[in-house]
Amino acid sequence: MADHAFGGIRIRHLYKIFGPDAQAHIEAVRNGLTKAELNERHGHVLGLRDINIEMPSGSIQVIMGLSGSGKSTLIRHINRLIDPTAGEVLVDGVDVVKMAEAELREFRRHQTAMVFQKFALLPHRTVLDNTVFGLELQGVPRARCVDTAMRWIERVGLKGFEQKYPNQLSGGMQQRVGLARALANDAPVLLMDEAYSALDPLIRTDMQTVLLDLQKEIRKTIVFITHDLDEALRLGDNIAILRDGEVIQQGTSQDIVLRPADDYVANFVKEVNRGRVVHVEAVMSPLTTADAAGGPTVAAGITIEEAVRSLAAAPEGDITVVDPAGKPLGTVTFRQLAGAMVNAHDGGRRAAA
């Protein structure tokens, strides 16, 4: 059932088998036939197995995995560039899988926008004309197209470049054009498939910042595909990790880093700088009646690294963790904060306790 506001995305029991007779093998796959067995016995490839993900409206959902894990296959089901073998893809409560051709075309034009790894800009069009392209397809009058496009060109930091062509821009600038084009459509769902993977590390970090800053205002439902854990942890409100077409673990960055589901996930997170990911609440102790007021405080929701930086010196005794209204939630010592940053395993054990 659709919500009154945009209802986000719900993927239910989604399967994808690639091959000429996929439906003939779906029950066997449901009953446990493995990817290797399906390929060896029947010459079909298992793309996705029983995917169930809830993507809340206005959040960034990261789908992460190595090459061949099924992440790009999954995102292409949301706008039905790929048809599933079985399952539901509910966008704002409506099953995309059941849409007729005309309905699907309207859905793609108005409900979703996509940002690609290879930029996918039209080389013969200027920055402005690339940005208005989706609006033109919708039949929006030219003056309104230009007005909307110029606003987003400025927002992504390209003001003054609107008459340049793609071959006159750096890779990072080209990706900004792709982002401006997607945002100009004003679709509630933004699909980003390895959008920053082709960029140099510094430009990539810059583009992540652009996206996070914009998201504070636009509150789109963003599905972001990546194979890079640092990127996933920085961007994702929620993260789903895929392997061989299956979801291995879902959760927040805190869940993934502090409580990896298995060795596969643990290997991903072992080199992570936890100080930049783990929030102070994960290492704080419960309040006691002896906790004194008036000492140093840190805000809940900030990372351990941010908390350490915000304290002018290493204070003695307890530091109180407070919510946005200033209400004490717990206490933490500087030693605990520093220890969680320096000793990843110790920080993880304490947080999970």
Report whether 258 contacts 346 (CB < 8 A).
no
Confidence band, pLDDT 50/70/90 cuts, at residue 235: very high
Ordered by start, the domain boundaries in the chain are 56-86+98-273, 275-352
Report whether 191 contacts 199 (CB < 8 A).
no
Structure tokens at 268: 């991903």
User: Same topology for domains 56-86+98-273 and 275-352, yes or no?
Assistant: no
Reduce the DSSP state of residue 71 to 3 states and report it.
helix
Give the percent of the chain with pLDDT over 90.
Answer: 57
Of residues 171 and 223, more confidently modeled: 223
Tell whether the torsion through CA atoms of 209, 177, 78 and 266 is positive or negative. negative
Report whether 342 contacts 296 (CB < 8 A).
no
Residue 160 backbone class (left: φ over 0; alpha: ψ -120 to 50; beta: rest): left
Residue range 329-339: average pLDDT?
87
Report whether 190 contacts 221 (CB < 8 A).
yes
Q: CA–CA separation, 293 vs 277, rounded Å?
A: 28
Which architecture does CATH list for 56-86+98-273? Answer: 3-Layer(aba) Sandwich (3.40)
- Specify the CATH number for 275-352; select among 2.60.40, 3.30.420, 3.90.1280, 3.40.50: 3.90.1280
254-270 confidence digits (pLDDT tens): 889 988 999 989 988 88
pLDDT at 1 > cutoff 60:
no
CB half-sphere exposure, 249, CA atoms < 13 A: 19
pLDDT at 90 > cutoff 90:
yes
pLDDT at 85 > cutoff 90:
yes
CB half-sphere exposure, 345, CA atoms < 13 A: 1
Question: Is 314 buried (19+), middle (13-18) or exposed (0-12) by CB count in 10 A?
Answer: exposed
